[in-house]
Structures are given as C-alpha cells and as structure tokens.
Structure 1
Amino acid sequence: MRKTLNVLSLSLGVAFIIPLWSAVAQIPSLPPLPLPNNPQAPPVVIPVPRIPSAHSVLKPIELGTDCISQSACLGWDEQIWSRGNKPGDRSALLASIDNSLSYLQKDKAIAVYQSYPIKEITRDRVYRSLVRFRQLVVSSNSPAELQAAVRREFVFYKSIGNDGKGTVKFTAYYEPAFIASRVRTNVYKYPLYRLPPDFEKWSKPHPKRIQLEGKDGLLGDKSRLRGLELLWFRDRWDAYMVQIQGSAQIQLTNGTATSIGYAGGTDYPWTSIGRELAKDGKVTLKQLTLPRMTEYFRQHPLELNNYLPRWQRFVFFKETNGEPATGSINVPVTPERSIATDKSLMPPGALALVNTSFPYPTASGRLDYRTVSRFVLDQDTGSAIKGPGRVDYFMGTGKLAGDRAGVTGGNGSLYYLLLKE
C-alpha cells in the first residue's frame, strides 16, 4: 500500500505498501501448513536447526523476571480486551494473524525464508509461533494471563535499532479517502495513471516526474502517458498524497465508490518534500508535520509546481474495486495491527511487539500521546523504510487515521516473538 507522512516520514521518508520483493530462485515446495481449526489444539512441533547468526540485526534476549523495558511494565497490549465502555480489538489482531498465516503457506514465503539471513528464524518457526500465539489470544482472559503465557513460551528477538542499542524510529501511514472523477472536467483535472503495458521495456534511467506530468501536473495530451489516465482529482495535493500513501478509497462523482492501489513505479529514490521546504526556510523542522504541510500547500498551491517535481519518482495505480489496502506480502493490512519494515532484514509475516508512543483521540477532539506496547504483524515494506531502526505503523483509513499518522513520530523498541525451541 502506502507511505507515511508525518514529522519523521516527511523528513526521513515514507513507508509504502508496495510489492518490492525481488524474484527468488524456484525452491521445491514444503508440505502445506494448514490453518488451525481448533484454537485450543497444541502446536505442531517441527524441529528447527539452531544456527546462530553472527551479525544479526535481531538479538534474542532473556526476559527473566523483568519487563522488556520500563514502559513495557505498563502491560502488553491492554487494548485487546474491552475496558468499561471501550471495546477491545481482539478480532482485528486475530484477523491480522490469519492474514500472515495465509501468506506463510504460499510458495513465495517458502522462497523468501529459504534466503532469510537469520538461519534460526525459519518459515516453520514463524508459522508455529503464530498458531500458538493465536491460541493464547483466544484462550486468555486478561493482559496478565496472556503476558504470563507469552513469557513462558516465547523468545523475544530485539531489533538492534539505528544505534546498535535498540532505538527504533517510528512513523505511521494510512489509507486516504478522496473524491475523484472518472472523466476530466474543469474541476477534476489532476490525473493518476495506470501502469503502461510496456513499462518493463522502458529504458533506464526512467523519465522523471516532470517529464511524465509536467511542472504543473497538467502535461495532458503531451505526456507519453496519454490515454492511461485512471482517475482525476480536483486538487494536485490530493493526487500527490495518493502517490505517497500508495492506495486510496475513492468516492466517485457519479455516486459510486471504488479503490485504487499501487501498480508500479519508476526507478528513483524517495525525496522528502518536507525536507525540501525546511531546506528553503518555508517551514522549520519542528513544524514538519502532515497537517502543517497540508496547510502550507493549501495556502500556496502554486508552490506545488516547484516542490513536487523534486520527487522524481512516479507511481502508477490500478483499480482495486473496494478491496482493503494490501501490504508488500500481498495480504490486507489491518489498522493498528500491521507494520512496515525493511524486508531485506526483518521476517515477513512474523509476530512482533512494538513499544512506543502513539496519538489517540480524546473526548475533546484533541490527540494525546500514550505509551503503549502492541502486538503487530510485519506485513509491509517501504522505499524509505530502510535498516533495523525504522518501523511504519498502519493507522487505518480516512481523516482521523491521517490526522494521527501525520503527527506520529518518535523512538521506541521493536521485538519479534518466536516459540522457544
């Protein structure tokens, strides 16, 4: 799916729900791993070779009787259970687990894990860990009961972070919802494009953004993309936001609804428009949030002609007919239960625990930060999410999710949970 726009992502980069996995040599299929029908059934034990990784970005840690971190002592994922009049989101966690289990049965997962650099983290072990954790979520009646079982049965692999000491930078991304038209009008005139049918034959270096859509985004009939227009938007910033986030839910001007998702992109790196604004003194780094950037370009729309071409990459889309946002492992991403990481380093589809601060809405309409520890599934990646010290957290769809994602940014910790051997 997408990318992240917030205080960090605008300056450092953005997570994209994009299928960026490289092709891997064909590997003979392993026996199928059936999804569990009985959540109380004991896990199937499959021997896994114990081969230490000399320079791993994930280090196994001993919990002992202490918490993972001081903030984790507050309790692991208390949002799973209902509290007072606040409903829990256990069903969302279970759905996300099932999506990862589905992925792990596919040939692509088999191939990827054959090449995964941390030898003791195998597809079988990741799968069995998810099956067992799912059983525990279903059978546990409280955060304390689940935490005790997890501490007994699982090993925590901690990311070394961006400093070798476990410090991870967190951002968040979301799926926007916009109004668009299937035909060009005087109001709806900024297009997003389908992937050209001959795109794989395009010579490199690829054309830059300004060559494909023009400085003002209105190159139109003079563009080599003529005839590939998918939808038209009334605001160029909206069209740009879809390119950043990688997907969108769309309300069409004819009264119907659809959705669009990533189909491909030209071969250029991420360029932060926010950082460019700060470099030119238009905003300060302290002001660099999505709401502030949106406000700036709403007030100065012609500035888009200056800044958007600086991001030379161009993104193509396909219509997905209302399907949910999909991550790089080709399963739906679940609001607040899916993360994006660097998939050259982190295990795809695996169970993780994130410990950081996120903004939550209050009764007064404000966003207040709370330190939380949440179980998530690693189901996405991003062109700007690189290294062991970056996590992008999927907030969901729509304005509130965008508001929250736009001001998310800070440090935390990342752990992967695997059954003890």
Structure 2
Amino acid sequence: MAGLWTGGLQGVVILATSAIATAPTVAPLMRQSQLPPTVALDTALWESRGERTRLLQAIDHSLRYLRTEKARRDYAAYTAAGQPGATLGPNLHQRVIRSLERFRHLVQTRRSAAELQAAVKREFVFYQSIGSDGQGRVDFTGYYAPTYRASLVPTAEYRYPLFRRPPDFEQWSEPHPTRLELEGADGQQWRNGPLRGLELVYLRDRLEAFLVHVQGSAELQLPDGRRFTVGYAGKTNHPYTSIGQELIRDGKIAREELTLPRLMAYFEANPAELDRYLPRNANFVFFEHTQGRPPTGSLSTPVTPERSIATDKSLMPPGALAVITTQIPLKAQGQWRQTPVSRFVLDQDTGSAIRGPGRVDIFMGTGDVAKARAGLINTPGQLYYLLLRQ
C-alpha cells in the first residue's frame, strides 16, 4: 500500500511492478494529450454531494502540502535539470498550486458535470503518462487501510507482532537483515534477534500481520473494544517482492485468477506455504501508534477514499491534480461489478511496489468493504495530469 505511511504505501500484494520498472529520468514521461471524446469526466460528482465533498477535501489536503517548505524542496528536486519534472515547464510548483486553486473554484461553482468538463477542457492542459508500453497503458490496483483484531499483550491467540522502529536503526549495518533473518521462516524467531522488546501490538493471523506491512497502516480492534491505530515508522532497505507474483511464477495461481481474496483463500487452504512465501518479501516495515489519526500518505496528509492515488514519486508530480480512466468495482443488484469510471484524483501517495509510469494504486478506504473492493482492482487504464494553461 501504495498506501498509508510517511514513505508511501507499498501497493496491494496482487500485482508486480510495471514493465518499465525504472524509466530513464531524462526522457519525457508525460506527453500533452486529449481525453478520448467518449470520456465523460466524473459524472458521479453531481450524483452525490458526498462525492464533491470528498474531492474538495482531497484538494485541500494537497494544497496544505504544496504550501509547505517540504513541497518547495520536493519540487526543486523534481524539476532540476535531467529530472522528470523539468519536461513540464518552469515554475511547476506554483503552476500546480494555481491549478488546484482554480479547479477547486470550478468544482464549487459549476452546476453540472458537463459544465465542469467544458471549463476544464478549456482552461487546462492534459498530460498523459506514457504508461508501461510507451502508449499510455497504466495498470491499476487498489489499496486500503485494513481493520483487524489485535491485542496489546501476547496470548495463545495473539502471537504475531507488529514492531516499533528500533531506536538504533540508523546505526544498523547495510544491507539490513532480511525478513527471514528478522523473524524466521515461521514468523516466531524474532525473540532471538534485534526485534525483541520492540513489540507494539499482536495480531491473531500471520497473513494479516504481513498485509499490514504491505498496506502500511491499520485500524485494530482490541479485545475490550477499543480502537488502536498504527502507521508506518520506517522500513529496511530491501526491495518489495509481491507474493502474489511469486505464486503466479510457481504455478500456484493463474495470473488471470489473481485477486486478494483468491490469494488469501490459497493460504487459508495451505497455511504451511506461509513459511515459504512470506520470507520472499525481504522488506520489513516498522510501525508506531498513531493515536487514531486518519490514514496518511507519503505527503504526510490524509488520503481520501477513491480520490487519492499512489504513483512513483520519483517520476510523477506530488500533490497534483489528475484524471484516471479505468474500471473499479461498484455495486449493482447486490453484486460488485467492474464499472468504467473517469475520476478526478489527487496524487498523494507512493509505494515500494509502485514503480514506473505505468502503475497506479487507488486508495479505497478503511475496513472490510474497502478491502473487498481493493482486492478486485487489477485493470488497465490511463492516467492524465491537469495543469492550467500558461
């Protein structure tokens, strides 16, 4: 997850990185483009006032970040000579701010999706990501903030800890220990190494604990009914490995069948396989108690369900306004059905599994419904950034 820690989410577990794992930073990663004429921009905004409220909140979160000294430093690095942002023209940081301020006003004052679309097409330039194939194909996944049962003390039922960041972590020699070295193949050997004494909270299920590592944060329910939230506090320097892709590679699950529910069902039926596959993701994440704060992305601002996306922040403009065209699960006649959508979104997160111009993770929210929907997103589409005409 893409997703919800101050270094970004690591992406949902079901999709590997794009075909362009690391695009050359000297080459343009976006080209000026037009939306296909058949695309109707975000009609949902006028079907529900709540949709507009969420979009406006997401815009405000981006503006809050963009007005910070950190954003100025981020954009100075992003637009430096030879970096991706240099291809988008001068004064990009201020142009992104002006674009969001103007777009916010349009959302508040236009009376229909058609009016908003006409104004946006008239006043903004669309820059399309070149995608994983150089032709604009972007692979979309979904991420969420999970809710699991947990305990502050170990018991026979709660045996799999999440760990605090070691106080001497900056002095750890590199490369850092792998997941296998830190917790053992069975996830229980942490008592014999540097993690001992750093237990923050204990989960019942080892795969659930692993998925919190993937998602980057979680809302946990304690046995007495209290809510306990955790978020990212650091990670080791090993690259992320998708266990879903490992299962595909080994012929355990067909590529076209891979969803998060399918992956979880596989391990429920084959629990011994956890010892084999979880250590293949050498990356290890540390957590902190977040005191009930909402899920937060890599910009240190809250992420908004269906309005925040995670991209490769070495390539894409942080906090910027974008449009995604893809499919997401919407309920029809009591069933989740993949439905074509075009959505205004804000680029507010990143992740170890989100690499290249052809990968986007969509934040779907918190809890079981968000989990179900996120696990069903594994679809191609397009990504466009919107900037005011100069």
TM-score, normalized by length of structure 2? 0.91
1:242-391 matches, cutoff 5 A = 242-364=212-334, 366-391=335-360
- Which residue of structure 2 aligns with residue 130 of structure 1? 100
Give the Cα separation in 2 of the matches to 1:182 and 1:362.
40
Give the Cα separation in 2 of the matches to 1:264 and 1:226.
17
Q: Does 1:171 align with 2:114?
A: no
What is the CA-CA distance between 1:194 and the residue it aligns to?
0.4
Give the Cα separation in 1 of the matches to 2:268 and 2:374.
19
Tell me which of 4, 8, 14 is aligned to 2:11.
Answer: 4
Q: Does 1:224 align with 2:194?
A: yes
DSSP 3-state at the match of 2:345: strand
Q: Does 1:108 align with 2:73?
A: no
Would the alpha carbon gap of residues 303 and 71 (structure 1) be closer, same or farther in structure 2, given more than 3 Å must change? farther
Give the Cα separation in 2 of the matches to 1:369 and 1:382.
25
What is the CA-CA distance between 1:71 and the residue it aligns to?
4.5
What is the CA-CA distance between 1:220 and the residue it aligns to?
4.2
DSSP 3-state at the match of 1:197: coil
Would the alpha carbon gap of residues 203 and 377 (structure 1) be closer, same or farther in structure 2, given more than 3 Å must change? same
Give the Cα separation in 1 of the matches to 2:264 and 2:17.
17
- Which residue of structure 2 aligns with residue 59 of structure 1? 31
- Which residue of structure 2 aligns with residue 209 of structure 1? 179
RMSD of the TM alignment (CA)?
A: 1.6
DSSP 3-state at the match of 2:14: helix
Give the Cα separation in 1 of the matches to 2:191 and 2:385.
50
- Which residue of structure 2 aligns with residue 409 of structure 1? 378
What is the CA-CA distance between 1:100 and the residue it aligns to?
0.3
1:128-167 matches, cutoff 5 A = 128-167=98-137
Residue by residue, what CA displacement relative to the aligned partner does 1:228-255 show, whole Å, maximum 9, x if unpaired? Answer: 0001011101101101111101111122
- Which residue of structure 1 aligns with residue 36 of structure 2? 69
Would the alpha carbon gap of residues 171 and 280 (structure 1) be closer, same or farther in structure 2, given more than 3 Å must change? same
What is the CA-CA distance between 1:345 and the residue it aligns to?
1.0
Matched to 1:288, the amino acid is L
Give the Cα separation in 2 of the matches to 1:176 and 1:318.
16
Query: Which has the larger Rg?
Result: 1
The runs of at least 4 consecutive aligned structure 1 residues that moved more than 6 Å come to none
Tell me which of 367, 382, 399 is aligned to 2:368.
Answer: 399
8 Å contact kept, 1:57–1:159: yes
- Which residue of structure 2 aligns with residue 33 of structure 1? none
Structure 1 unpaired stretches of 5+? 15-52
Matched to 1:78, the amino acid is T
DSSP 3-state at the match of 1:396: strand
DSSP 3-state at the match of 1:376: strand
DSSP 3-state at the match of 1:356: strand
Give the Cα separation in 2 of the matches to 1:401 and 1:70.
31
8 Å contact kept, 2:15–2:141: no
DSSP 3-state at the match of 1:161: coil
Matched to 2:374, the amino acid is A
Would the alpha carbon gap of residues 129 and 198 (structure 1) be closer, same or farther in structure 2, given more than 3 Å must change? same
Would the alpha carbon gap of residues 11 and 138 (structure 1) be closer, same or farther in structure 2, given more than 3 Å must change? closer
Give the Cα separation in 2 of the matches to 1:250 and 1:13.
29
- Which residue of structure 2 aligns with residue 238 of structure 1? 208
Matched to 1:363, the amino acid is Q
Matched to 1:89, the amino acid is E
8 Å contact kept, 1:351–1:376: yes
What is the CA-CA distance between 1:175 and the residue it aligns to?
0.8
DSSP 3-state at the match of 1:170: strand
Matched to 1:56, the amino acid is P
What is the CA-CA distance between 1:112 and the residue it aligns to?
1.2
What is the CA-CA distance between 1:3 and the residue it aligns to?
3.6
- Which residue of structure 1 aligns with residue 56 of structure 2? 94
Residue by residue, what CA displacement relative to the aligned partner does 1:43-102 show, whole Å, maximum 9, x if unpaired? Answer: xxxxxxxxxx983211123x4xxxx12541xx11011123xxx65410000000000000
TM-score, normalized by length of structure 1? 0.85
